Amino acid sequence: MASGRISLLVDSPLRDMLIAARGLPAEVRKQIGVQTKAAAEPIWFGETRDRAGTRLQQRALVNPARVGVTARNVFLRSGSVGKLASGTPVSAIAKAAEFGADPTKQITQRSRKGNRYSRRLGNAFGIPRRGGNTFHPAARDSIPRFAALWVQTAVRTALDALELKGK
């Protein structure tokens, strides 16, 4: 459904850290990514879990929440992996779970016997909300934490690697 990321287009300590990390050995750079992901996933899962107001948001946005770390970015993902108990892909309903849907919208369905009928969508997704319900507020509040975490983890991992190398 959605993905948020930290941009390095502006001059920042993150950008300086990544430029300095280019000179580190490949194994140390890999460890920085592994350590950052291990520390960031519980934070991201907690942030999304705290904002989920319904079971549908929990199943569609919180359970598939993931963090991806590359050499240049930390990616925050939600609502793109997995299926619900009904077999519906999470990605098919993630947008409606995040932003809500008009309860009076008419949708067409088929019964088990194959007959077509129309019904109203109802309030399963909640009222429409431009700023989102779960993912976007969580990303807005947690991105500064991830930036600080990334710098701290990179510095700590690099110093640990240099300390072991000196012994």
DSSP per residue, 77-120? EES-S-B-TTS-BHHHHHHHHHH---TT-EEEEE-TTS-EEEEE
Confidence category of residue 11, pLDDT binned at 50, 70, 90: low
Question: Has residue 88 got a pLDDT over 60?
Answer: yes
Q: Which of 12, 74, 6 has its CA nearest to residue 40?
A: 74
Confidence category of residue 119, pLDDT binned at 50, 70, 90: very high
Confidence category of residue 7, pLDDT binned at 50, 70, 90: low
**SS3 per residue for 40-82:** HHHHHHHHHHHHCCCHHHHHHHHCCCEEEECCCCEEEEECCCC
Average pLDDT in the 101-128 region? Answer: 90
pLDDT of residue 3: 55
pLDDT tens digits, 147-161: 888 889 988 988 888
For the chain, give every domain's residue range: 2-166
Question: Has residue 2 got a pLDDT over 60?
Answer: no
Average pLDDT in the 44-56 region? Answer: 92
Confidence category of residue 1, pLDDT binned at 50, 70, 90: low
Q: Exposed, middle or buried, 1 (CB in 10 Å: 0-12/13-18/19+)?
A: buried
pTM score of the predicted model: 0.80
